[in-house]
A = this chain, B = another copy of it.
Amino acid sequence: MQFKLGCELSYTLTAPSTFIFNIGVAQNTRQQVLDETLSITPTIEMEEYVVPETATRFLRVNPAAGDLHIRYNALVELSHVWADPLDIPETPTTTLPLQVVPYLFPSRYCQSDRLMNLAQAEFGDLLPGYSRVTAICNWIYDNVAYLSGSTNQHTSAYDTAVERAGVCRDFAHLAIAFCRALGTPARFVSGYAYQLNPPDFHAFFEAYLGDRWYLFDATRLVPMAGLVRIGTGKDAADVSFATIFGTIEMTKMQVFIDRLQPPETSEAPSDQAVSTA
């Protein structure tokens, strides 16, 4: 499944600043970047670092005062792993890969240590595994209102568990916190999302089940097969699309994604689990 995607970001800087962008799609065996261009105006030096474990890409530029314009385009091929949800069990803590264990720990926006009782009360009686994470997503979809502007960059899963309103990142944070509280490793994924309307960067999450990371999205806003990974981390704190040191004003932000020649035969039934990790 191929996607043509990218973004355009413009800023006005009143002084020399440092930007660390996280907008490039991650590359792994399931997500191939077939073509990619990045243009920055004015032309300045760029430096990229790829986090070994997650393939998250940090791109630094140090522009002078004035206007900065960045345009990223990529052609990406997703080779999804499909699986029958019924066949995806919980991985017991006795055999969980130890490098996955840190995704059980609480993080800035996912205070799983404080949601233990709530998670147990709501999901503790369910059979562990893929279906329980689905139940978490359903609970969030049913109990949390998707409401633009209802939260801000400080809002955490702890807040959302009480206040019951938020946007995609809040949905992901609460789901992750619930998973960790139940002993299921979970992590945050930022990405481009096909058919997201209005177009924007999207946030969803992964849970480690069976022997891999499966994608979930409690917002139900877009098809799972159209999620293209940018950053992967403990939570949104790790994968902000732009970390900025300096006093700037954003003047433009545009995100786009299209699907190329949709090959009907590659479609998976909508009831399949999806993995791209």
Contact = CB atoms under 8 A, between A and B. Distances in A.
Contacts of A111: 108, 154
Contact of A164 (B48, B99, B118): B118
Interface stretch (A25-33, A237-245, A249-257): A237-245
A143 interface: yes
Contact of A49 (B99, B114, B238, B245): B99
A113 to B, nearest CB: 6
Could you tell me the dominant secondary structure of chain A's interface residues? mixed
A127 to B, nearest CB: 18
Q: Count the copies.
A: 4
Given A94-B62, A107-B108, A111-B108, A163 B118 contact: yes
A31 B21 CA distance: 35
Contacts of A58: 98, 101
B164 A98 contact: no
Nearest to A20: B101
A107 to B, nearest CB: 5
Nearest to A143: B121
Contacts of A99: 49, 51
Interface of A: 18, 20, 47-49, 51-52, 58, 60, 62, 92-94, 97-99, 101-102, 104-108, 110-111, 113-115, 117-118, 121, 143, 145, 153-154, 158, 161-165, 183, 234, 237-238, 240, 243, 245
